[in-house]
């Protein structure tokens, strides 16, 4: 079973092109499941039944694992058996009918437009600040994921037409518009980038040592500028992506377009932003409607 899990992880890397962190999460989840099967003296994959999967999920639930984590565990097991089914190793997928307990749905945090303006209004007096402004402008302009921005190459960016091509989760490629201000910030960064890296370095964003920028560095720099601009809340890359999605939906009302821009495979993932929009509408209603105003 461990040997098969190793081959499955290679499949995730080579054929599905999943990110390193995603593959590491798959490995951790499968290691836990395989250990459970070993404790149950189950060694062959075709001996694994729905009962074993359900017992494993119940055990992890009793140990305090939340709904989202249990759903992720189940997803890893389902994917593993789906791959074995395709390879002819097993005859059924025992995880298909097993469901994890639902977890409460938390709405993503967002920043309003004025707060975004305050965050992005940083003094661009050094190459480092110019780089950081370009990073934050691109996040908010195009709603990229952290991994997509960190691995972005210049050949993926067309500043003339204001478009960027990224490959996201599940190896899905999409084209996303880049706004005028973000284009200007990227042009300014391209002029200053020679301070850090050679022309041959393909990555758009690099560290001060000329290497491709690390995701942790991006997180730290955004946190630095949030404090510098006097913002009380924790600001992180995905918060800019959430804000992009919420503001786009609020202005356009086009859920399908926002789904395409974010690169969501399932529109139900995007629908969480409609709840944010309804929250906004409810606040406007409470303030404006004569019968809704609080005494």
Residue 264 annotated as catalytic: yes
| Sequence-distant (≥ 6) Cβ neighbours of residue 172 within 8 angstroms | 263, 265
Residues composing the chain: 295
Residue 228 annotated as catalytic: no
The one catalytic residue in 60, 131, 133, 145 is 145
Distance CA 72, CA 60 (A): 12
Distance CA 164, CA 157 (A): 5
Residue 140 annotated as catalytic: no
CA distances from residue 211 to 13, 59, 76, 208, 261 in whole angstroms, order as listed:
23, 44, 33, 7, 28
The one catalytic residue in 153, 238, 275, 287 is 238
Strand 173-177's sheet: what is its strand order? 157-158, 163-167, 173-177
Residue 295 annotated as catalytic: no
Give which of 211, 205, 91, 194 is closest to 150, Cα–Cα.
205
Contact 243, 222 (CB under 8 A): no
Residue 72 annotated as catalytic: no
Residue 51 annotated as catalytic: no
CA distances from residue 38 to 5, 49, 80, 164 in whole angstroms, order as listed:
14, 14, 17, 47
The one catalytic residue in 60, 133, 241, 247 is 241
Residues belonging to the active site: 145, 169, 238, 241, 264, 273
């Amino acid at each position: 079973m461990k040997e098969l899990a190793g081959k499955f992880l290679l499949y995730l890397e080579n054929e599905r092109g999943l990110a390193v962190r995603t593959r590491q999460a798959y490995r951790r989840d499968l290691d836990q499941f395989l250990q459970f099967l070993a404790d149950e003296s189950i060694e062959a994959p075709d001996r694994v039944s729905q009962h074993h999967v359900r017992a494993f999920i119940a055990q992890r639930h009793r140990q305090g694992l939340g709904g989202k984590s249990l759903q992720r565990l189940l997803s890893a097991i389902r994917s593993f058996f789906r791959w074995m089914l395709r390879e002819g190793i097993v005859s059924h997928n025992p995880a298909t009918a097993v469901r994890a307990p639902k977890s409460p749905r938390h709405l993503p945090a967002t920043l309003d437009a004025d707060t975004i303006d305050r965050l992005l209004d940083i003094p661009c007096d050094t190459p480092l600040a110019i780089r950081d402004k370009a990073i934050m402008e691109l996040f908010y302009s195009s709603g990229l994921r952290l991994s997509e921005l960190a691995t972005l190459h210049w050949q993926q960016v067309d500043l003339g037409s204001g478009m960027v091509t990224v490959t996201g989760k599940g190896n899905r490629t999409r084209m996303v518009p880049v706004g005028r201000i973000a284009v200007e910030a990227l042009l300014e960064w391209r002029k200053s980038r020679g301070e850090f890296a050679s022309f041959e370095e393909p990555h758009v964003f690099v560290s001060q040592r000329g290497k491709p920028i690390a995701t942790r560095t991006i997180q730290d720099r955004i946190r630095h500028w949030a404090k510098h601009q006097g913002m009380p809340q924790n600001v992180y890359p995905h918060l800019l992506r959430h804000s992009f999605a919420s503001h786009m939906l609020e202005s356009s009302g086009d859920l399908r377009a926002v789904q395409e821009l974010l690169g969501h495979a399932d529109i139900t993932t995007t629908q969480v932003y409609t709840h944010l929009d309804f929250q906004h509408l409810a606040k406007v209603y409470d303030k404006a409607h004569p019968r809704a105003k609080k005494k």
